[in-house]
């Protein structure tokens, strides 16, 4: 037996343009069965009980607004929340435990933030009841009978469970709090740990600034510090690594691990698999159809949970949610043949911006090569990319020669375009949009069909990022420059982006520079590395490109973090500080690529 989910994307559905084509095509409607009705706003509503799942409306809808999915019938009794008639449906919840960091991993749109908002008490679960009176707290508590969530929700409903919650989007903080970050943290410092957390998260230099002038990374760390300072039973973090560089991500992970040792429950949703692995004790995988439904798996040990996600198979549910597993390769990396022609080179450069000075060593890039760029925030990585793009001119030295065609994806993306995605693509790409190259390498991997009829101003951060990357990689250019392309993307989207960059560079004989904080993505995408060091905001130094082993050793030695390889998937895993492998690798001076880093049975 199956239960059927019918979801209509209200942002995409445009009844005025098609005149209810879905209703006219439905074979049941022709037999006067009201399987598709119209609500008081003129939008269609599909009856899930009457729909036979023929797929006609799904395939014929010109705006790709309809999704119909069959699920095993036993899941119907596990529905936790639904967003209205024909809205997203969430099955099961993560199960927090004391002295444990529970990590959540999954695609965007399958319910991670919804799950966290329910656990935080920001969203009352309706158990799938969208018409009539929603269930009261007694019914919700009874629903979870026999599980640890019964006691959790009983305390939450009575106000006896204190929850500290950091939401996914932090840009609302300056709108609700006016004043200095120090005043915000002092107000919330219920445990007397403010000074310690400010020191660990390196907030001393920004603590006296107003929150409305802080950068994204500074505001993120202040938001995390505000949550950690609270005296709570449950701490919830939704994507804490956004806007942060690698060093800051590791420090945040250490703070979260320190927090869990204090007999509290911690739940974290995170797309950076290395950081998620480093901070978590248990993992729940969320899978499903983005925007349609999501299912939360039961918690597993951290290694098993992340590997389960990469395999795309949930043994306990006997469900495969991805056709092919994600695999990594132990590189260290192949040396680029010296015989390959040098495509472009630059000289020693100096650029001064206010009180900040950037110096960059001379270097070169070969045809078909991707150079990854690593370093802390505020150290000059974006400035270097702008020098290559010709958007900035060096005060001393020479950038790339004139006449080079450059395609640039900036760090911050604007959705100010007044129009739909398809019009923007056709206006920007012209005939290239019809090419088989665009279809195979860009359109399908980035699933642009899902947003083609949407207005650019209505796109989410992740959708805007994919659109910007797609436009950048579709341009006829000699050099592709991508500044933090994984921001807002989930794990699968990040790896799809990395594959697209590699295929385009290799197949077309082009070159690319990629600024990226996700080490796993850099491992996947780069042939060589440029490491930037110095004092953020004061003095930056860009080292010449070097092989991956040398680059990773230079960068990770400064962080004090070593990596091993998972024996099943070969994905990079950060060693716990002070562990046996951590000590061995530091003595060897091998922080990333060495046979000793393959996990032992």
Highest mean pLDDT among 22-31, 71-80, 364-373: 364-373
Averaged pLDDT for residues 28-33 = 86
Nearest alpha carbon to residue 268 among 245, 239, 243: 239
Helix (H, G, I), strand (E, B) or coil at 338: coil
Q: Which CATH number fits domain 2-74: 3.40.50.300, 3.30.70.20, 3.40.50.10190, 3.40.50.1100?
A: 3.30.70.20
Averaged pLDDT for residues 478-496 = 91
Domain ranges of the chain: 2-74, 88-313, 342-559
Q: What's the half-sphere exposure (Cβ side, CA atoms, 13 Å) at 432?
A: 17
pLDDT at 446: 84
User: Residue 496: pLDDT above 80?
Assistant: yes
Task: Name residue, tokens 């919330």.
Answer: 188
Nearest alpha carbon to residue 99 among 265, 253, 235: 265
pLDDT at 408: 95
pLDDT (tens digit per residue) in 530-561: 999 999 889 999 999 999 989 999 999 988 88
Q: What's the half-sphere exposure (Cβ side, CA atoms, 13 Å) at 404?
A: 22
User: Residue 487: pLDDT above 90?
Assistant: no
The token pair at 210 is: 């107003």
What CA–CA distance (Å, rounded) separates 125 from 128? 8
Instruction: Give Cβ neighbours of residue 298 (< 8 Å, ≥ 6 apart).
Output: 92, 95, 284, 316
What CA–CA distance (Å, rounded) separates 201 from 218? 10
In angstroms, what CA-CA distances link 473 with 13, 31, 343, 438, 462? 29, 49, 18, 9, 17
pLDDT above 70 covers a percentage of the chain that reads 96
Report whether 330 contacts 565 (CB < 8 A).
yes
User: Residue 328: pLDDT above 60?
Assistant: yes
Q: Where are the alpha helices (DSSP H) in 434-490?
A: 436-438, 461-474
Query: Parallel, antiparallel, or unpaired: how do β-strands 234-238 and 163-166 relate?
Result: parallel
What CA–CA distance (Å, rounded) separates 400 from 394? 11
The token pair at 399 is: 């950038």
Residues paired with residue 351 on neighbouring β-strands, in sequence order:
358
The token pair at 19 is: 């005149």
Query: Parallel, antiparallel, or unpaired: how do β-strands 100-106 and 265-269 relate?
Result: parallel
Query: Parallel, antiparallel, or unpaired: how do β-strands 234-238 and 265-269 relate?
Result: parallel
What is the assigned CATH class of domain 88-313? alpha beta
pLDDT at 457: 86
- The beta strands (E) that lie in 362-415 are given as 363-366, 370-374, 406-409
Report whether 166 contacts 116 (CB < 8 A).
no
The CA-CA-CA angle for residues 86, 92, 96, to 5°, reads 140
Burial class (CB in 10 A: 0-12, 13-18, 19+), 449: exposed
In angstroms, what CA-CA distances link 388 with 398, 404, 484? 10, 10, 16
pLDDT at 169: 84
User: Residue 339: pLDDT above 80?
Assistant: no
What CA–CA distance (Å, rounded) separates 326 from 311? 6
pLDDT at 2: 53
Q: How many residues does the chain have?
A: 601
In angstroms, what CA-CA distances link 438 with 119, 407, 430? 42, 15, 11
- Give the 3-state secondary structure percentages of the chain, helix then strand then coil, rounded to 5: 35, 20, 40
Angle between helices 461-474 and 491-508 (to 10 degrees): 10
Look at 39 and 98; give whichever has higher pLDDT: 98
What CA–CA distance (Å, rounded) separates 126 from 515? 43
CATH number for the domain whose boundaries are 342-559: 3.40.50.300
Helix (H, G, I), strand (E, B) or coil at 234: strand
Helix (H, G, I), strand (E, B) or coil at 90: strand
Helix (H, G, I), strand (E, B) or coil at 221: helix
pLDDT at 338: 53
What CA–CA distance (Å, rounded) separates 12 from 9? 5
What CA–CA distance (Å, rounded) separates 92 from 166? 22
Q: What's the half-sphere exposure (Cβ side, CA atoms, 13 Å) at 514?
A: 33
Helix (H, G, I), strand (E, B) or coil at 202: coil
Burial class (CB in 10 A: 0-12, 13-18, 19+), 178: exposed
The token pair at 108 is: 């965007």
Whether the domain at 2-74 and the domain at 342-559 fall into the same CATH topology: no
Residues paired with residue 531 on neighbouring β-strands, in sequence order:
374
Helix (H, G, I), strand (E, B) or coil at 22: helix
- The beta strands (E) that lie in 293-362 are given as 293-296, 300-301, 313-314, 319-320, 342-346, 349-353, 356-360
Report whether 527 contacts 332 (CB < 8 A).
no
Mean of the per-residue pLDDT values for the chain?
89
The token pair at 446 is: 């980035």
Q: State the DSSP string of 81-116.
A: EE-STT--EEE------BTEEEEEEE-TTSSHHHHH
pLDDT (tens digit per residue) in 109-159: 999 999 999 999 999 999 999 888 899 999 999 999 999 999 999 999 999
């Amino acid at each position: 037996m199956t239960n059927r989910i019918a979801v209509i994307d209200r942002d995409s559905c445009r009844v005025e343009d098609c005149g209810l084509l879905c209703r006219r095509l439905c074979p049941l409607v022709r037999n006067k069965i009201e399987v598709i009705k119209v609500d008081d706003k003129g939008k269609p509503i599909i009856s899930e009980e009457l729909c036979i799942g023929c797929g006609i409306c799904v395939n014929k809808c010109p705006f790709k607004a309809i999704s119909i999915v069959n699920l095993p019938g036993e899941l119907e009794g596990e529905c936790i929340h639904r967003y209205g008639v024909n809205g997203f449906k969430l099955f099961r919840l993560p199960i927090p435990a004391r002295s444990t960091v529970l990590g959540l991993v999954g695609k965007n749109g399958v319910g991670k933030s919804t799950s966290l908002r329910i656990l935080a008490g920001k969203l009352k679960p309706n158990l799938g009841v969208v018409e009539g009176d929603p269930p009261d707290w007694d019914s919700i508590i009874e629903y979870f009978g026999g599980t640890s969530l019964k006691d959790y929700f009983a305390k939450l409903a009575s106000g006896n469970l204190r929850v500290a919650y950091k939401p996914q989007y932090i840009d609302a903080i300056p709108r609700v709090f006016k004043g200095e970050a120090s005043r915000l943290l002092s107000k919330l410092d219920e445990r007397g740990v403010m000074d310690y957390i400010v020191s660990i998260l390196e907030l001393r230099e920004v603590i006296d600034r107003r929150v409305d002038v802080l950068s994204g990374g500074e505001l993120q760390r202040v938001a995390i510090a505000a949550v950690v300072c609270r005296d709570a039973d449950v701490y919830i973090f939704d994507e804490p690594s956004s806007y942060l560089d690698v060093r800051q991500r590791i420090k945040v992970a250490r703070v979260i691990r320190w927090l869990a040792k204090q007999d509290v429950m911690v739940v974290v949703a995170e797309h950076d698999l290395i950081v998620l692995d480093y901070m978590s004790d248990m993992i729940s995988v969320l899978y499903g159809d983005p925007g349609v439904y999501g299912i939360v798996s039961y918690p597993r040990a951290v290694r098993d949970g992340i590997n389960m996600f990469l395999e795309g198979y949930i043994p306990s549910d006997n469900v495969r949610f991805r056709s092919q597993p994600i695999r990594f390769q132990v590189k260290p990396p192949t040396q680029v043949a010296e015989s390959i022609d040098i495509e472009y080179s630059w000289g020693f450069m100096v650029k001064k911006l206010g009180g900040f000075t950037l110096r960059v060593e001379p270097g070169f890039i070969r045809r078909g090569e991707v150079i990854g760029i690593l370093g802390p925030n505020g150290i000059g990585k974006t400035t270097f990319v702008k020098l290559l793009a010709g958007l900035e001119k060096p005060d001393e030295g020479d950038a790339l020669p004139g006449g080079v065609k450059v395609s640039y994806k900036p760090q911050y993306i604007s959705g100010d375009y007044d129009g739909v995605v398809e019009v923007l693509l056709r206006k920007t790409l012209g005939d290239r949009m019809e090419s088989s190259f665009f279809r195979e390498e860009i359109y399908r991997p980035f699933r642009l069909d899902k947003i083609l009829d949407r207005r650019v101003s209505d796109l989410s951060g992740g959708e805007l990022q994919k659109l910007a990357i797609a436009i950048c990689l579709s341009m006829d250019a000699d050099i592709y420059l991508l500044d933090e392309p994984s921001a807002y993307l989930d794990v699968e989207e990040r790896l799809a982006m990395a594959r697209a960059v590699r295929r385009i560079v290799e197949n077309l004989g082009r070159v690319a520079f990629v600024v990226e904080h996700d080490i796993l993505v850099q491992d996947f995408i780069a042939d060589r590395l440029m490491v930037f060091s110095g004092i953020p905001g004061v003095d930056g130094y860009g080292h010449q490109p070097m092989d991956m082993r040398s680059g990773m050793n230079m960068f990770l030695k400064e962080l004090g973090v070593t990596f091993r390889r998972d024996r099943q998937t070969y994905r990079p895993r950060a060693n716990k500080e002070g562990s046996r492998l951590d000590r061995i690798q530091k003595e060897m001076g091998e922080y990333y690529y060495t046979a000793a880093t393959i996990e032992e049975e």
